[in-house]
């Protein structure tokens, strides 16, 4: 019997978590969004309002009525138990720190219904490193979205050796149902397809700037002119937000120096990217 997904909970309402929640609700699913406190939820409300406006500008057929209905229909809570009480699928988009994710899954495993599927949106961590903490490794896998999900609409689906094939198929079908193009990854690979290509590219750009070989603007200009790409790596980093790249760089001894440069020159100064109005560039 096919698994049915109708009620979805998104854990974490940051840049990407809020997009996942909005896109899912926009396509008619019941959505609960969870974050740790009222301050985070207030920020989520602002993001959802911004996404409603963005969809009207950039998504064909996205009327004011539809986008406002979508925004108003997303439940918001800082109570994890309440957030997952009726969930068929939980998509985890908490910070890219393995211990935080493991602690989250330990709590989730105790609170969520037995039927609930868990999916991590981790950028680079392997789901098998978290599976034992879920209490249901057969119902756990990775579902990775690219930033600006309404436009760059890939959804990479990657299980572990213990993921139930029926769960894998259900998540592939869910991804299609919310307007994504499912990319099936046949076995575990840190970074899936997209970030296996993107992360080394972005790290190389940071290395050029941190090593004082070239300014971020010059790196971006070189990439755009030489390849015809619409954006350079530092523009991409600003869109992603610098916290996630910092966490990824910090987790590897070989790139700790790049993480420190990013923190001292940008993060500590509140320059986190587009979301804060300034990163490598200023945004009005």
Average pLDDT, the chain: 96
Sequence-ordered list of residues with C-beta below 8 angstroms from that of 134, at least 6 positions apart, any chain: 105, 108, 109, 118, 140
pLDDT of residue 284: 79
- Separation CA 267–CA 205 (nearest Å): 17
Span 205-217, mean pLDDT? 98
What is the share, in percent, of the chain residues with pLDDT greater than 70? 99
Q: Which residue has the tokens 């911004």?
A: 50
Q: Specify whether the CB–CB gap between 154 and 183 falls below 8 A.
A: yes
Q: Specify whether the CB–CB gap between 101 and 128 falls below 8 A.
A: no
pLDDT of residue 49: 97
pLDDT of residue 2: 62
Sequence-ordered list of residues with C-beta below 8 angstroms from that of 105, at least 6 positions apart, any chain: 92, 118, 130, 133, 134, 135, 140
Span 240-249, mean pLDDT? 92
pTM of the model: 0.86
Is the pLDDT score of 279 beyond 70?
A: yes
pLDDT of residue 228: 98
pLDDT band with cut points at 50, 70 and 90 for residue 112: very high
Q: Select the more confidently predicted residue: 174 or 3.
A: 174
pLDDT tens for residues 24-61? Answer: 999 999 999 999 999 999 999 999 999 999 999 999 99
Sequence-ordered list of residues with C-beta below 8 angstroms from that of 20, at least 6 positions apart, any chain: 10, 91, 93, 121, 145, 149
Span 236-258, mean pLDDT? 93
String of DSSP letters for 226-240:
HH--SS-HHHHHHHH
pLDDT tens for residues 140-167? Answer: 999 999 989 999 999 999 999 999 999 9
pLDDT tens for residues 118-128? Answer: 999 998 899 99
- Separation CA 198–CA 9 (nearest Å): 28
pLDDT band with cut points at 50, 70 and 90 for residue 278: very high
pLDDT of residue 123: 85
Span 173-196, mean pLDDT? 96
- Separation CA 125–CA 96 (nearest Å): 8
Q: Which residue has the tokens 């050029």?
A: 208
What is the share, in percent, of the chain residues with pLDDT greater than 90? 93
Q: Which residue has the tokens 């523009």?
A: 235
Helix (H) or strand (E) holding 135: none
Is the pLDDT score of 1 beyond 50?
A: no
């Amino acid at each position: 019997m096919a698994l049915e997904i109708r009620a979805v909970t998104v854990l974490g309402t940051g840049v990407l978590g809020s997009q996942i929640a909005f896109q899912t609700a926009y396509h008619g699913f019941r959505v609960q969004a969870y974050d740790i406190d009222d301050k985070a939820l207030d920020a989520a409300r602002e993001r959802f309002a911004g996404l409603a406006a963005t969809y009207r500008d950039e998504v064909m057929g996205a009327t004011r009525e539809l986008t406002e209905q979508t925004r108003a229909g997303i439940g918001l809570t800082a109570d994890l138990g309440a957030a997952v009480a009726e969930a068929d699928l939980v998509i985890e988009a908490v910070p890219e720190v393995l211990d935080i994710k493991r602690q989250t899954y330990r709590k989730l495993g105790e609170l969520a219904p037995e039927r609930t599927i868990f999916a991590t949106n981790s950028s680079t961590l392997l789901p098998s490193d978290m599976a034992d903490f879920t209490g249901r490794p057969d119902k756990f896998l990775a579902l990775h979205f690219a930033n600006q999900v309404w436009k760059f609409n890939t959804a990479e689906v990657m299980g572990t050796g213990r993921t139930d094939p029926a769960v894998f198929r259900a998540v592939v079908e869910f991804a299609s149902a919310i307007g994504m193009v499912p990319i099936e990854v046949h076995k575990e690979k840190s970074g899936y397809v997209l970030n296996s290509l993107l992360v080394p590219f972005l790290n190389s750009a940071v290395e050029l700037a941190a090593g004082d070989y070239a300014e971020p603007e010059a790196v971006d200009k070189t990439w755009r002119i030489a390849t015809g790409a619409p954006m350079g790596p530092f523009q991409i980093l600003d869109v992603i937000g610098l916290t996630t790249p910092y966490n990824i760089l910090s987790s590897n001894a070989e790139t700790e120096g790049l993480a420190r440069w990013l923190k001292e020159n940008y993060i500590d100064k509140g320059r986190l990217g587009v979301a804060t109005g300034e990163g490598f560039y200023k945004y009005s």
